[in-house]
């Protein structure tokens, strides 16, 4: 059984005991083994977006939902992250920074029930390659909304300051395509 308040408490305790992502990964992995319980606790997703579940200087927990065929540009977190998938699929492309741009350096697909850790310096882009919504719990070892993060233009791969409002617009545009049934782009 997944209980949101207990999950938050377990993440806070794990963070206090270990500043790395290792203990948090175990908490997230345990949670997403029962995808239907997580879905029941967080609600059936109906559109793309992200919801803050918990936020402090030391820890941020977000519930992400990706629209069908949605892609979010390369970005960093300036903190380690643990991603636990409870529906759909999330494909990550990992990028290597070279001067003020990035080049692809690897990839990893995450399926329901999987939990994966990303190091503090990881740059990644996210794609939902399926034709249905994908949902995931993301836990960060710091304040996800703090300034100082970067994003890279999806066409030029040039670096700029991360813009949370731009990310919200990308989710809104993906929702419009999803609502219209035009899931390309």
Domain boundaries, the chain: 4-180
* 63-73 confidence digits (pLDDT tens): 999 999 999 99
What is the mean pLDDT of the segment spanning 34-59? 95
Q: Name the pTM for this structure.
A: 0.92
* 121-155 confidence digits (pLDDT tens): 999 999 999 999 999 999 999 999 999 999 999 99
First to last CA, the chain: 37
Domain spanning 4-180: CATH 3.40.50.1100: no
Tokens 């380690």 correspond to what residue? 80
Q: How much is the pLDDT for 185?
A: 43
Structure token pair of residue 56:
């402090």
Contact criterion met (CB below 8 Å) for 66 and 145 = no
Q: How far apart are CA 112 and CA 55, in angstroms?
A: 24
């Amino acid at each position: 059984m997944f209980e949101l308040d207990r999950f938050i408490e377990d993440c806070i305790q794990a963070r206090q005991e270990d500043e790395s992502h290792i203990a948090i990964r175990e908490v997230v992995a345990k949670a997403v083994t029962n995808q239907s319980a997580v879905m029941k606790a967080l609600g059936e997703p109906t559109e793309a977006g992200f919801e803050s579940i918990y936020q402090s200087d030391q820890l941020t927990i977000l519930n992400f939902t990706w629209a069908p065929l949605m892609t979010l540009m390369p970005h960093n977190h300036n903190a380690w992250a643990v991603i636990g998938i409870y529906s759909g699929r999330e494909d990550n492309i990992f990028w290597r920074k070279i001067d003020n741009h990035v080049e692809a350096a690897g990839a990893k697909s995450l399926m329901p029930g999987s939990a994966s850790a990303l190091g503090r310096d990881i740059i990644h882009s996210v794609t939902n390659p399926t034709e249905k919504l994908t949902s995931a719990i993301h836990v960060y070892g710091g304040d996800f909304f703090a300034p100082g993060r970067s994003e890279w233009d999806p066409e030029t791969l040039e670096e700029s300051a991360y813009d949370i409002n731009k990310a919200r617009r990308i989710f809104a545009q993906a929702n419009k395509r999803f609502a219209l049934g035009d899931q390309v782009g």
